[in-house]
Structure 1
Amino acid sequence: MGALRQGGGAAVNAAEWIASRLPELLEEHGVVGAQLAVLADGEIIDAAAGVLDAGTRAPVTTESLFQIASITKVWTATLVQELVNEGRLDLDAPVRDVLPGFRPVITPRQLLTHTSGLDGDLFHDTGSGDDAVEKFVARLADAAQIAPPGELWSYCNSGFTVLGRIVEVLRGKPFNAVLEERLAAPLRLTVATTYAERTASHAVGHEDGRPVTDPGPESDWPAGSALAMSARDLLAFARMHLATPTFAVMREPQVLLPDFGNRASWGLGWELPDYSGGPVIGHHGANRGLASFLRVAPERGIAVALLTNGGAAREVFDHVIENVFSELAGVRRPEPPTPPDAPEPVNERFLGSYRCAGHEVVVTQADHGRVRVDLDGEEREFVALRDDAVIALERPHTVLVLMGDLVHFGRAAARIWEPPGGET
């Protein structure tokens, strides 16, 4: 079965498609288990396939809970926006007005839009107690800044943990308690906010088809370490967003992303990909062996959520976007960049080593005007996309953008070494 058939109600057509196609897609792309939910005609329909754990073979159901990883950031942004709506927080006032011990001079708006300049992938294990977020943020007091505040978009996990601490201070309760009381409970959603709440109904991450037994620290809850739910409940949250006028401001573009070959911008917590046919918002997330995807067309009231626990999840998501989301919402995502047929030689200014928290990039000369890029231990050949950008020859066609002495791949990494005269 390809795209949705024509005729009939949108929800009915979507239900038929996902029920028949989801198991096939998992088989085709080696995905261990998944839930897929669609919001159409004001109704949420969902399906499940595969297993929660390759060891136990327990089946995924529509009630199973999957970690949503960085999609949690939209929940955190929503809690922040509630404080703004109540007049209790100014997005453009210094963070230190709420957190006096916090030294970087940045604002909540810059944190929400990933423009604070904070080195973004700092992960500290400060336990799982009610003071875990407070302890985590205390360790960010002297965090490095990869760029001056407000000047550069660079994805920043650490910044959302700071936002979570703002929520805690202004609400007088631990972050997880605020999330439960203000979002999950009013919407009657079943969520798990800590690893301790895991049961046999939780999906387990998988790498190379094997269960991942160590999920890592959960102390950066507001950035996406532990929150779990079903795809249906994730769309109930998205539906609430569309029905709440005071949250519409979160969907307004705040900053353009670097030019990775397809124009995109960022709102207050929301990613704003450049679809044709109407605005689209969303987010995605990844923890060890888990991947989650959310796309919403606000003007059409259409949304999809895909939650997975191992395998080529991005390939499944691509099918869902092309054959369900785009068909229902009447939108089309931009064509991803591909290597040019006859690329120019790569600008020698790319050569060198770059580093940021958690990531290292080494760019060396290769044959035929190409470069060899080692990104976190994975080495591939790249060709010139533009004078200031290179693209991987093989899929996925990762794009790196050169910005002065920074190389940008979603995170900005600073040059730490440059070969003399541009030679290796």
Structure 2
Amino acid sequence: MNDLLERLARKHDVPAAQLFVRHGGETTEATLGVGPDAAFPLGSLTKPFTAALVLTLADDGDLDLDEPLPKLPVTPRQLLTHTAGLAANVEQEPISRRRWAARQRPDALVHRPGELFSYSNAGYVLAGHMVEDVTGVNWQDAVESILLWPLRITPAFVTGKTERKALPGHSGTRVITDQSLPELEAPAGGLALSARDLVAFALHHNAAMRHDHLAGHRAGPYGLADGWGLGWAVYDETWFGHDGTGDGTSCHLRFDGNTVVALTTNAATGSALWQDLVDELRSDGIPVADHRPTSTAPEASAAQAEALTGRYANGDALVDVTHENGRLGLAIDGGPATPVTCHADLTFTVPGSPATPGRFLPGRLLQLGGRTARPHAPDGGTQ
């Protein structure tokens, strides 16, 4: 396993990585450039920890997963499954989570609660505030005392004070010493742990998280997973996990009843390493699940493509769709347009490493990276 990790890390220019595999009763651990206890910024792999806090409080009777919040018509269950309708991003200046939560209003929701899946960092910030409101302690202390201390894990955090130091990230030749995540958004991406820590959490987390709440949903997590539970993504119905990307980091976790695979890397190219690793493990008889939607449909007709053009919005995030010379182009937040291949089934792929899948849905919805956007109205709202 060390040879495999070293070969893939060299191919993808990853300076440091950890790989932990438990399969068929055997455990294999490999490291490169660091020891097994080094803490990697987890990015969005933090979210299942915030979800586990919410479920712990629900089990204790301190909150009801299906009771709407006092000022918003959304439930904790909807927050954890990304169906609450909040914007994908946190769109206000850095303030305390309490002040931020107090400013959230029903008219700021970008989708009707429960209507569809739209991946939301803002939803998990609100879930983190809910934990703080119920427990009376900040989110970091709650993670440490409720979840990690029983597992004998010392956490690192990329915001605020931390006893354990997180590794820097890498993007090409640039070393990223400090993550840019504001403290406000810590419940959505503020943890740093090792692959070994991730496996310990996966083996001891709340079992209620392992249930697909989006089976049959008209707008599920296309491009991210096959389904979604209470914090965990669902892959091939029986596998669970999550991916996380920080500034120059990429971390991944998958598990089912027999196998757990955790990979931590401190490079932006770690996501491409992960895809190669999955293929290699599968060839070795370890059937790791992943989500890689592909289309066999022909390219969309010019008329189909032309009908998709326009501006789409999810909160302040904007995507402009253009059609020129028979090819669609996507420009995100005013950036340059990237040519994409759109198929007759209205799925498309944005080039990259790895490529990012997306799709158009009935009602002129655009789904990219799990974020769902609506046509942008002339007055600046969504239609």
Please indicate, yes or no, whether the TM-score normalized by the shorter chain is above 0.5: yes
Is residue 367 of structure 1 aligned with residue 325 of structure 2? Answer: yes
In the alignment, the residues of structure 1 paired with residue 225 and residue 41 of structure 2 have an alpha-carbon distance, to the nearest angstrom, of 29
Is residue 210 of structure 1 aligned with residue 174 of structure 2? Answer: yes
Please name the residue that 2:313 is paired with: 355
In the alignment, the residues of structure 2 paired with residue 21 and residue 176 of structure 1 have an alpha-carbon distance, to the nearest angstrom, of 35
- CA 1:303/1:326 → structure 2, altered by over 3 Å: closer, same or farther? farther
SS where residue 113 of structure 2 aligns? Answer: coil
- Contact kept, 8 Å, 1:354 with 1:415, in 2: the verdict is yes
- The AA in structure 1 aligned to 2:230 is L
Please name the residue that 1:219 is paired with: 184
- Contact kept, 8 Å, 1:32 with 1:209, in 2: the verdict is no
- CA 1:271/1:378 → structure 2, altered by over 3 Å: closer, same or farther? farther
- Contact kept, 8 Å, 2:221 with 2:227, in 1: the verdict is no
- The AA in structure 1 aligned to 2:196 is R
Correspondence 1:273-292 to 2 at 5 A:
273-274=235-236, 279-292=238-251
In the alignment, the residues of structure 2 paired with residue 212 and residue 137 of structure 1 have an alpha-carbon distance, to the nearest angstrom, of 30
SS where residue 398 of structure 1 aligns? Answer: strand
Deviations 1:265-317 (A, max 9, x none): 11111100226xxx1001011121111111111x22x1111111114212211
Please name the residue that 1:47 is paired with: 30
- The AA in structure 2 aligned to 1:120 is A
Percent sequence identity over aligned pairs: 33
- CA 1:188/1:328 → structure 2, altered by over 3 Å: closer, same or farther? farther
Q: Normalised by the size of structure 1, how large is the TM-score?
A: 0.79
SS where residue 219 of structure 1 aligns? Answer: helix
Please name the residue that 2:381 is paired with: none
| 5+ residue gaps, structure 2 | 379-383
Q: Normalised by the size of structure 2, how large is the TM-score?
A: 0.87
In the alignment, the residues of structure 1 paired with residue 291 and residue 122 of structure 2 have an alpha-carbon distance, to the nearest angstrom, of 29
In the alignment, the residues of structure 1 paired with residue 107 and residue 175 of structure 2 have an alpha-carbon distance, to the nearest angstrom, of 34
In the alignment, the residues of structure 1 paired with residue 107 and residue 245 of structure 2 have an alpha-carbon distance, to the nearest angstrom, of 24
- The AA in structure 2 aligned to 1:176 is Q
- Contact kept, 8 Å, 2:125 with 2:188, in 1: the verdict is yes
- CA 1:318/1:137 → structure 2, altered by over 3 Å: closer, same or farther? same
In the alignment, the residues of structure 2 paired with residue 32 and residue 161 of structure 1 have an alpha-carbon distance, to the nearest angstrom, of 31
SS where residue 47 of structure 1 aligns? Answer: strand
Deviates further, 24-33 or 314-323: 314-323
Please name the residue that 2:8 is paired with: 25
Please name the residue that 2:18 is paired with: 35
Is residue 322 of structure 1 aligned with residue 284 of structure 2? Answer: no
Is residue 61 of structure 1 aligned with residue 18 of structure 2? Answer: no
- CA 1:32/1:135 → structure 2, altered by over 3 Å: closer, same or farther? farther
- Contact kept, 8 Å, 1:69 with 1:287, in 2: the verdict is yes
SS where residue 88 of structure 1 aligns? Answer: coil
- CA 1:262/1:326 → structure 2, altered by over 3 Å: closer, same or farther? farther
- The AA in structure 1 aligned to 2:136 is G
Which residue of 76, 92, 99 corresponds with 1:108? 76
Deviates further, 397-406 or 31-40: 397-406
- Contact kept, 8 Å, 1:120 with 1:158, in 2: the verdict is yes
Please name the residue that 2:226 is paired with: 264
In the alignment, the residues of structure 2 paired with residue 329 and residue 288 of structure 1 have an alpha-carbon distance, to the nearest angstrom, of 30
Correspondence 1:14-413 to 2 at 5 A:
17=1, 19-40=2-23, 44-50=27-33, 60-96=34-70, 103-124=71-92, 126=94, 132-141=96-105, 144-197=108-161, 202-216=166-180, 217-224=182-189, 226-241=190-205, 247-255=206-214, 256=217, 257-258=219-220, 260=222, 264-274=226-236, 279-297=238-256, 299-300=257-258, 302-324=259-281, 327=284, 329-330=286-287, 333=290, 336-338=293-295, 340=297, 343-345=300-302, 346-357=304-315, 359-368=317-326, 370-376=327-333, 377-392=335-350, 396-409=355-368, 410-413=370-373
- CA 1:262/1:364 → structure 2, altered by over 3 Å: closer, same or farther? same
In the alignment, the residues of structure 1 paired with residue 224 and residue 87 of structure 2 have an alpha-carbon distance, to the nearest angstrom, of 24
Deviations 1:335-393 (A, max 9, x none): 5315756553334321001122353211111223x212213425322233234433347
CA shift for structure 1 position 94: 0.9
In the alignment, the residues of structure 2 paired with residue 362 and residue 398 of structure 1 have an alpha-carbon distance, to the nearest angstrom, of 16
In the alignment, the residues of structure 2 paired with residue 208 and residue 199 of structure 1 have an alpha-carbon distance, to the nearest angstrom, of 28
Please name the residue that 1:13 is paired with: none
In the alignment, the residues of structure 2 paired with residue 308 and residue 42 of structure 1 have an alpha-carbon distance, to the nearest angstrom, of 25
- Contact kept, 8 Å, 1:339 with 1:391, in 2: the verdict is no
- Contact kept, 8 Å, 1:119 with 1:143, in 2: the verdict is no
Kindly tell me the number of residue pairs found equivalent between the two proteins.
370
In the alignment, the residues of structure 2 paired with residue 170 and residue 199 of structure 1 have an alpha-carbon distance, to the nearest angstrom, of 25
- CA 1:414/1:262 → structure 2, altered by over 3 Å: closer, same or farther? closer
SS where residue 320 of structure 1 aligns? Answer: helix
Is residue 416 of structure 1 aligned with residue 380 of structure 2? Answer: no
In the alignment, the residues of structure 2 paired with residue 316 and residue 334 of structure 1 have an alpha-carbon distance, to the nearest angstrom, of 15
Please name the residue that 1:4 is paired with: none
- CA 1:406/1:148 → structure 2, altered by over 3 Å: closer, same or farther? same
CA shift for structure 1 position 209: 2.2
| 5+ residue gaps, structure 1 | 1-16, 51-59, 97-102, 242-246, 419-424
CA shift for structure 1 position 72: 1.0
- CA 1:195/1:145 → structure 2, altered by over 3 Å: closer, same or farther? closer
In the alignment, the residues of structure 1 paired with residue 164 and residue 221 of structure 2 have an alpha-carbon distance, to the nearest angstrom, of 43
SS where residue 22 of structure 2 aligns? Answer: strand
In the alignment, the residues of structure 1 paired with residue 374 and residue 287 of structure 2 have an alpha-carbon distance, to the nearest angstrom, of 41
